[in-house]
Amino acid sequence: MGKVAVVFAAAAVVAACSVAAVMVGRRMRSRRKWRTVVGILKEFEDACDTPVGRLRQVVDAMAVEMHAGLASEGGSKLKMLLTFVDGLPNGTEKGTFYALHLGGTYFRILRVHLGGQRSYLDVQDVERHPIPSHLMNSTSEVLFNFLAFSLERFIEKEGNESDSQGVRRELAFTFSFPVKHTSISSGVLIKWTKGFKISEMVGKDIAECLQGALNRRGLDMHVAALVNDTVGALSLGYYHDPDTVIAVIFGTGSNACYLERTDAIIKCQGLLTTSGSMVVNMEWGNFWSSHLPRTSYDIELDAESSNSNDMGFEKMISGLYLGDIVRRVILRMSQGSDIFGPTSSVLSEPYVLRTNSVSAMHEDDTPDLEEVARILKDLGVSDVPLKVRKVVVKICDVVTRRAGRLAAAGIAGILKKIGRDGSGGITSGRSRNEIQMQKRTVVAVEGGLYMNYNMFREYMEEALVEILGEEVSQYVVVKAMEDGSSIGSALLVASLQS
Ligand code: ADP
Ligand code: MG
């Protein structure tokens, strides 16, 4: 071999070695990045873990906090608010009634016509619109004028066909925010939740604000009841099935109410009702316990929210927040490695990933996870390989599984408080016989998250059986109530007239 050939051969070997070294280097870096992502996922999954032992601790904490909230004003993060609802619609109601419902994302208007028999419930003209986002930060005048205007348009559409012509219309105002009631038809706003922020309204009578706006428009409508959305759902549940004693909402936010004996409401000594009970609005979104599996993502979400240090339970289980937890985990992965490409500025925007998209990704059954790819593209993340898409689905699963299981623990906590969890409950004020008899108990559930996100619903129902055990859970019936809060509120107003 000549000298030149030897030099060439040596150079070729060196070049081949460097190419190989670069490739090995790349592969090692890529493996390291993948390990980073897997590490973030594993750490997140562990932090979200909800074995049944932990769920039982949450159940106990919920029951204890309920007691504390009933014992004294400010005794717990659970406000356990009186609703002044001491009787629920029983099916004998008659006439035409209206409901206006201000939720966290939607407002709804509807009319019900009742024929005096349970089977004769005609729900008419359900209108459902997204709440224009500027209203959430406006003034009370702007908000209530908008609601009155929407009601006026609704009534105009009735034309001459309605039975209500010439008669004052009775309206339920379903209001999905915490209110301190002074009667069934009046109460002041305690605080805003779910991203609403009209500070001048805190402390104002909500029913009076709406009635004022209706009067200003010359509408002959009477705000006959101010109803928490959970109480509306309970009313519809009870109307169909008198074993219904608990109602829970999983929508933009989350909350629960239940029927409590007045003598257990210790903070209101001497509270007398004909039925001996009253519906208590728990405002359970604000529940907190050190047993809740909280991650660094939850802490950051809370710190950056408009209501930090508030509504800790709601921020782990409700529709407004699940998407943002998922987004935060993806963002952290994207910052820690380049498997999502260059970090997208869209992905850095709070709340840009909605829970609707989380369920669409979670339930994507295409072999290549095309829906996941499409949603990621909307977030400014393109061309991610299948294994990365699978990681995203896993994040959705972890977040929703934790939410569903904690939601179940919350429900089991209420069952425990009222002695329907089969354990004998917390005994104060209850007779032994009452504890030992396992009664059929219906839990009315509604809200967009529960109604539309199958995996959330399945995880919740599965965990409820796990917590209660097969035997007791046979007595606990979870019933979905579509539009329950609005329809039920109208039924409640009807029951007040009869
Ligand atoms: P509101 O909270 O205004 O009363 P809903 O009860 O209809 O309204 O809940 C709306 C919320 O439910 C949405 O903001 C979203 O968080 C959640 N949601 C609605 N549809 C879905 C879905 N397909 N998958 C997951 N979450 C959903
Ligand atoms: Mg709602």
Q: What is the pLDDT of residue 261?
A: 95
**Paired tokens of 486:** 């609005």
Run of H or E residues at 250:
strand 244-250
Q: What is the pLDDT of residue 7?
A: 55
Cite the beta strand spans of 251-326 per DSSP E: 254-261, 277-281
Residues 177-199 as b/e (b if ≥16 CB within 10 A, e otherwise) read bbbebeebbbbbbebbbbbbebe
Query: Per residue of the chain (498 residues), what is the pLDDT tens digit?
Result: 455 555 555 556 555 556 555 566 667 777 888 999 999 999 999 999 999 999 999 999 999 999 999 999 999 999 999 999 999 999 999 999 999 999 999 999 999 999 998 878 899 889 999 999 999 999 999 999 999 999 999 999 987 655 555 689 999 999 999 999 999 999 999 999 999 999 899 999 999 999 999 999 999 999 999 999 999 999 999 999 999 999 999 999 999 999 999 999 999 988 888 889 999 999 999 999 999 999 999 999 999 999 999 999 999 999 999 999 999 999 999 999 888 988 899 999 999 999 999 999 999 999 999 999 999 999 999 989 999 999 999 999 999 999 999 999 999 999 999 999 988 654 444 444 444 558 999 999 999 999 999 999 999 999 999 999 999 999 999 999 999 999 999 999 999 997
CB atoms within 10 A of CB 327: 25
Are 209 and 250 in contact by the 8 Å Cβ rule? The answer is no
The runs of H, that is alpha helices, within 102-224 are 140-156, 206-216
Q: What is the pLDDT of residue 343?
A: 86
275-314 pLDDT, tens digit per residue, is 899 999 999 999 999 999 999 999 999 999 999 999 999 9
In angstroms, the CA 244 to CA 202 distance is 32
Return the active site residues: 108, 176, 229
Give the position of tokens 């409700």. Answer: 318
CA of 284 to the centre of ligand 2 (A): 14
Residue 293 one-letter amino acid = P
CA of 104 to the centre of ligand 2 (A): 7
Q: What is the pLDDT of residue 365?
A: 97
CA of 192 to the centre of ligand 1 (A): 18
- CA nearest to 300, candidates 358, 254, 348: 348
In angstroms, the CA 254 to CA 258 distance is 14
- The pick from 127, 311, 314, 449 for probing ligand 1's pocket by mutation, whose C-beta has the most ligand atoms within 8 angstroms, reads 449
**Paired tokens of 369:** 């996870």
CB atoms within 10 A of CB 423: 18
SS3 content of the chain, % helix, strand, coil (to 5): 50, 15, 35
Decide the pairing of beta strands 221-227 and 441-446.
unpaired
Q: What is the pLDDT of residue 427?
A: 46
Q: What is the pLDDT of residue 21?
A: 57
Run of H or E residues at 124:
strand 121-130
Run of H or E residues at 82:
strand 81-82
In angstroms, the CA 95 to CA 115 distance is 7
Are 194 and 131 in contact by the 8 Å Cβ rule? The answer is no
What residue owns the CA closest to ligand 1's atom 13?
252
Q: What is the pLDDT of residue 395?
A: 98
In angstroms, the CA 410 to CA 9 distance is 73
Number of H helices, E strands in the chain: 16, 13
Q: What three-state secondary structure class fits 376?
A: helix
CA of 479 to the centre of ligand 2 (A): 16
Are 400 and 322 in contact by the 8 Å Cβ rule? The answer is yes
CB of 356 shorter than 6 A to ligand 1: yes
Are 232 and 212 in contact by the 8 Å Cβ rule? The answer is no
DSSP code of 137?
A: G
CB of 131 shorter than 6 A to ligand 1: no
Atom of ligand 1 nearest to the CA of 485: 4
What residue owns the CA closest to ligand 1's atom 25?
356
Q: How many residues does the chain have?
A: 498
Q: What is the pLDDT of residue 426?
A: 47
